[in-house]
Amino acid sequence: MRRALEVCGTGAGDLGASGIGVSGAGPVGVGPGGLESGAPGPSGLRLAGPARKDAADRAREAAAEDVPVGAVIYGPDGTELASARNERERTGDPTAHAEVLALRRAAGVVGAWRLTGCTLVVTLEPCTMCAGALVLARIATLVFGAWEPKTGAVGSLWDVVRDQRLNHRPEVYGGVLGAECAAALRAFFR
């Protein structure tokens, strides 16, 4: 059974394109300090209930054989469309990042490559490939956990998703459950 995305605003914010309660408009960046569980973001975003753990659950599944990154895509109504974890080692496919796999699966569920109004939640800041893919898929909102200073393409090393030359720029909430997500990655690389 697919769970609904439970996200609540802290004030009288508007519903963003993805159904997330936010105040204000336009892309929002949260610095490397990030957001912690249940803490409201600069625009009132707060992940609640099982939704904030879904991507982390996918990451834990990957930890035995690949870098523990998990991704979940929610439809405009908050219903979970697809989830994935890194599968590069299992499949031998260098593009089998959690985000790309979740995008492919969600597109299959929707029956179209445009995932307009959807939200992607992922445990690690997307790389250039994944950031480009989510822009091309027209994802409305990106929520990610840990910042990735070596390969991150959503503000750390590059900022693909906010490049003014592109035809689509999602709202971005970075550092959500950042400490928790970073701890899982540190444990994997020990």
Enzyme catalytic residues: 99
Helix and strand numbers (H, E) in the chain are 5, 9
Which conformational region is residue 14 in: left (phi greater than 0), alpha (psi within -120 to 50 degrees), or beta?
beta
Residue 168 counted as an annotated binding residue? no
Residue 130 counted as an annotated binding residue? yes
d(CA 86, CA 69): 6
Burial of 133 (0-12, 13-18, 19+ CB in 10 A): buried
Residue 118 counted as an annotated binding residue? no
Neighbours of 75 (CB within 10 A): 22
Q: How far is CA 44 from CA 8, 38, 47, 136, in A?
A: 8, 11, 10, 27
Coil vs helix vs strand at 90: helix
DSSP letter string, 138-188: T-SEEEEEE--TTT-TBTTS-BGGG-TTSS---EEE--BTHHHHHHHHHHH
Query: Residues comprising the binding site?
Result: 97, 127, 130
Query: Residues comprising the binding site for Zn(2+)?
Result: 97, 127, 130
